[in-house]
Amino acid sequence: MSVLIRSFLFYLYLISITIIAAVLCVIITPVTSVQQRYALVRYWSGLNLWMLDKICNIQCHVLGMEHIHACGSKPMILLSKHQSAWETIVYPYLFPKTLCFVSKRELLWLPFFGWALASLKMITINRGDREAARAAVAVQGRERLTQGQWIAIFPEGTRTPVGSYRPYRKGGFRLAIATNTDIIPVAQNAGNVWPRNSFRKYPGLITVTIGPAISVKDKTEEKIQIEVEAWIEGEMHRIDPAAY
């Protein structure tokens, strides 16, 4: 079966399952908590991972999960490399925590997916208004952390091509310092099999590497940024040397 046909079949599945999950999420909103609705999202996410394997022959290998378990019940800020749409639909299943993503507000306008996103109370920002976006991350991020959720941020701000580097935005580092919350760095190379802005999904293995917690205690914003960027970009060179 060709890559094009496999990709079409996967999108046919993904659209169908997303509509079903989103409608259920909205229906149960009045009688459930965010955590209960997130459990439904984790099931949707796990199905996505399984169907990517069965339809597109895409698997993933996760390293460093012990660093997640070492955090216990302590809320953390997860900062991850962003190459593809893959991480947005699979991370809820891969990480055994309730993740609150920081994403652009335009996603709320999408039928079904946006409705579910709104019911989960994710942090959505207007990327065209930096001051308002900064305030939203600071206020809502602090609130979500006190509720025990993990804040998931793609510090590059958008999906980047394989092998490229985009300076990290500072919102995640500022939130970490303001709330005294440590950071979990994540590197992954999903762009090799699911390229940004591409319909085609190519068979292959995605490697996700989770790093040890980076403490923010007594550190400046610049110092934390250097540490996080060095770990993630250094790990990208290790797991994907051909691209870097």
pLDDT for 52: 98
CATH of domain 3-239: 3.40.1130
Write the DSSP string, the chain: --HHHHHHHHHHHHHHHHHHHHHHHHHHGGGS-HHHHHHHHHHHHHHHHHHHHHHH-EEEEEE-HHHHHTTTT---EEEE---SSHHHHHHHHHSSS-EEEEEEGGGGGSTTHHHHHHHTT-EEE-TT-HHHHHHHHHHHHHHHHHTTPEEEE-TTSS---TT---PPPSHHHHHHHHHT--EEEEEE-GGGTS-TT-S----EEEEEEEPPPB--TT--HHHHHHHHHHHHHHHHHHH-TTT-
pLDDT for 109: 82
One digit per residue, the tens of pLDDT, for the chain of length 244 reads 799 999 999 999 999 999 999 999 999 999 999 889 999 999 999 999 999 999 999 999 999 999 999 998 899 999 999 999 999 999 999 999 999 998 877 877 888 888 888 888 888 877 666 777 777 788 888 889 998 899 999 999 889 999 988 899 988 999 999 999 999 999 999 999 999 889 999 999 999 999 999 999 989 999 999 999 999 999 999 999 988 8
Would you list the domain boundaries of the chain?
3-239
